[in-house]
Structure 1
Amino acid sequence: MSSSCSSLYRRLHGLFAVKLKTDKPKTTSLKSKQQLQTIVDNFKKSSESPKFRGHHSKYKTAVRRLDNNYSAIQGIFEHQKQYPEITNEFFVSRLILLYGTAKMYEHARKLFDEMPNLKCQQTVFSFNALLESCIRAEKYDTARELFRELPEELSIKLDVVSYNTFIKALCKADSLDSAVSVMDEMENQGIKPDKVTFNTLLNAYLDSKRFSEAEDLWVLMQKKNVVADLGSYSVRLRGLVENNKVNEAIELFDEMGKKDIIPNAYCYNTMIKIYVDDRNWEEAKGWYDKMVENGRYPDNATFEMLIHFAYDKDNLDFALALCKKALDSKVTVRNATMQRVVNVLAEHSKLEEAMELVKLAKSYKRYRYILSLPSLQ
């Protein structure tokens, strides 16, 4: 390094050697009893407002903040029984789903069974919520039992959501062949499989690397006149790429445009990854450029892939530009990725650029990066 560069480096390093503070909370195993009780008390107080009780997101946030503390979650949900909404099937179904999210299936089932006493009707809507609660709690065998026994017991007529939820449970239980056979059962009951049915099964086939069967299912989807949506195309695109059918993936991407299905970041990332893995810089950047030109917003995965690829290719200007765009777009990339760019810039005597990136990262409010200029000899 030249003496002028060394002097500049020492000056900048002195200004930016102090690491930026992080606003991420310290890792703790559980919240204290006092913290939990405060959350519970505040939630119960807020629940007095009918407007508050109408916000599902408030309940979801409370479950997350309670760190899966079963007694605390049960406490705030039991508290809801004093309010008139407890006679509303939609409201009760929300609680059933959240019990599942917290891995408290037994409490979900208990609440479902209590619905008649709470003067709340039980229809296929709340049954579907209970079935989904099983999946969230990873009680797949229980989901199978529920689906086969409870509707008849309660005279509930299953709908397409019931079947799709059951298919999802079977897929998660690695019973893919059984899940596929449920489609015949649906049609025997006069219920047509829809795009959710096919998308769920397509995903499961690809997760199991059963590519040819996934293609057969795609053909069957067309035969049954089920209109593929963005989710369908995203799944098939992934399958073609994982099966090394790159040309067919490109053709499918073009087909999406002709059918006015706008590819999202996931679709573009799928294509970019092909060329990142193949170490083809021009094609990878070409797909990124196309993504931006078409008004799609790069996400975390886009930036992570291309920033790493850019500095691996010694394209430091582009790596820096991507970091700036991520910060400007309020997309958080990993601290280690950002620090690596700072390091490489400094190693190549681009100290002002490295300083600029550290300064920009410091101004980022959503996540405070812990960045510093490296100590170079």
Structure 2
Amino acid sequence: MFRSSFNHRLAQKYVSSFPLFDQTYSIQKLYHKDWLSPNEVVKIFNNLEPNSVLPMLNHISKRKDYKPNEPLFTVIITKLGQVKNFGAIDDMLKLIKIQKSIRISDEFFYNVMKIYGNVGGLSNKVIETLFNMPEYNCWPSTKTFNFVLNFLVCSKKFDELHNVFLGATKLGVEIDACTLNILIKGLCKCGRLEDAYQLFDEFPKQRCKPNKQTFCTIMHCMCEKGMVDEAFGLIDRMEKEGISPDAVTFNVLVSGLQKQGRIDESIELLDRMRLMGCDPNKGTYQEVLYGLLKSKRYVDAKKFVHRMRSKSLIPSFLSYKLLVLGLCQENMLGEVDWVLKSMVSVGFVPRRGMWRTVVEKNISRHNALNIVSFCEIVKGLAN
């Protein structure tokens, strides 16, 4: 009777956002004398709320059938990560190190580092965990090592990035193309284009080959620095390496041309892509359209929208909005009618500000015919 009452009070203490039945049933099972297999324990902890896993771990560790293992600690650390209890995660890692009987895999540490990094933003803990792995008789895989490098690049921890990379040999990590691509991305992000370019020479030394991502990253950096023609030169190098440029590659070049106001060249590039056996995608067309709109070439932009629609591609809502407002600003009201109808046909609803501009322009020009046409569009929307 006493045990039943105690179990009920304990369950009520730790039940919160988790399903009531699962939470209560799981806690009560931990207090039964029935033998629990390791898999059953993992399932029970999966049903616990994050704040209850430590008290329940303390309890179950006193049971005779307690057999700590990696799946159990993976669940516990994941739960602690959900409530950002990183101090408790530190304690769990210390506990695992003491219990020599537990075999821990690379995947376990990969999960821990993702929690430290993606949830907590704790770059120091990510690096510390990586270099502490051998103390657990576990060595990082290339995948885990690359995760740390990429996290440091995304966090702009470029000094730490270099130090971690130098530790690859110490950790027994085999460098691959992904590793070098991450380094190139990091160098490009901090503006060290020449150093990034020199890493091309490292690929054969590491028995690796550069891929599309390698070239795209450097080409993007070149375009950001206004070196668009130099970026085009890498297309030839790609072909020599046996790599066929894809739409993403050309989109980088199109974007670079747009930033320099070289709109006609970006349009010509669409035809060049097809000759090279690469079909432009929606992103390619959209980038060209934005360039035309930015250059206030509204008539050409309208023709380009027609070209996109003929290929079943839908321009963005912002493109339509800029085109309508631009045509109104230039008093090209005869062109607005088709654009509005095209906009409505793809499911976009012109907003109040856009309609106000259109109507005001037509009223100021006394263009009753166009106003009637616009009213017909509004009527179509209502239906």
Q: Could you tell me which runs of 5 or more consecutive residues in structure 1 were left unpaired when the two chains were aligned.
A: 1-39, 54-61, 362-377
Equivalent pair of 1:98/1:133 in contact (CA under 8 Å): no
Same amino acid, percent of matched pairs: 21
Cα 1:124/1:277, change in 2 over 3 Å:
same
Counterpart of 2:159 (choices 141, 145, 149) is 141
Specify which structure has the bigger relative contact order, considering alpha-carbon pairs within 8 angstroms and separated by 6 or more residues. 1
Kindly report which structure 2 residues correspond to 1:312-351, keeping only aligned pairs within 5 A, or say none.
312=329, 313-314=332-333, 315-318=335-338, 320-321=340-341, 324=344, 328=347, 338-347=351-360, 348=362
1:299 equivalent to 2:301? Answer no
**8 Å CA contact 1:97, 1:132 repeated in 2:** no
Write the deviation string for residues 272-308 of structure 1: whole angstroms up to 9, x where unpaired: 1332233333321121122122122323553443343
- Does the 8 Å contact 1:307/1:322 carry over to 2? no
- Equivalent of 1:131, from 112, 134, 149? 149
Which residue does 2:130 correspond to in 1? Answer: 112
Question: What is residue 48 of structure 1 aligned with on the other side?
Answer: 46
User: 2:211 & 2:139 partners in 1: Cα distance?
Assistant: 27
Could you tell me how far apart the structure 1 residues matched to 2:207 and 2:220 are? 25
Asked if structure 2 preserves the Cα contact closer than 8 Å seen for 1:310 and 1:316, the reply is yes
Q: In the alignment, which residue of structure 1 is the partner of 2:37?
A: none
Give the CA deviation at 1:114: 4.8
Query: 1:176·1:204 contact (CA, 8 Å) conserved in 2?
Result: yes
After superposition, the Cα gap between the structure-2 partners of 1:100 and 1:318, relative to the gap in structure 1 and judged at 3 Å, is farther
Q: Are the counterparts in 1 of residues 152 and 158 from structure 2 also a CA contact under 8 Å?
A: yes
Give the counterpart of 1:161 among 175, 178, 184. 178
Q: How does 1:1-377 map to 2 (within 5 A)?
A: 48=46, 72=84, 74=86, 87=104, 89-90=106-107, 92-93=109-110, 96-97=113-114, 99-101=116-118, 103-116=121-134, 121-147=139-165, 149-312=166-329, 313-314=332-333, 315-318=335-338, 320-321=340-341, 324=344, 328=347, 338-347=351-360, 348=362
Quote how far apart the aligned CAs of 1:175 are.
0.9
2:219 match: secondary structure: helix
Shift of 1:184: 0.8
Query: Which one is further off, 218-227 or 163-172?
Result: 218-227
Task: After superposition, give the CA deviation of every residue in 1:245-296 in whole Å (9 maximum; x if it has no partner).
Answer: 4444233211323445332232112221332233333321121122122122
Q: Distance in 1 between matches of 2:91 and 2:338?
A: 55
Structure with max Cα Rg:
2
Distance in 2, matches of 1:262 and 1:152, equals 42
The equivalent residue for 2:58 is none
Residues 195-228 of structure 1: per-residue CA shift (max 9 Å, x gap): 1110000000111112232233233222222211
- 1:344 positional shift: 1.8
Change (3 A) 1:121 1:207: same
Deviation at 1:79, TM superposition (A): 11
Aligned partners of 2:277 and 2:232: how far apart in 1?
Answer: 22
For residues 226 and 360 of structure 1, do their structure 2 counterparts lie closer, same or farther at Cα, with a shift above 3 Å needed?
same
Runs (5+) with no aligned partner, structure 2: 1-15, 24-42, 48-70, 72-79, 96-102, 364-370
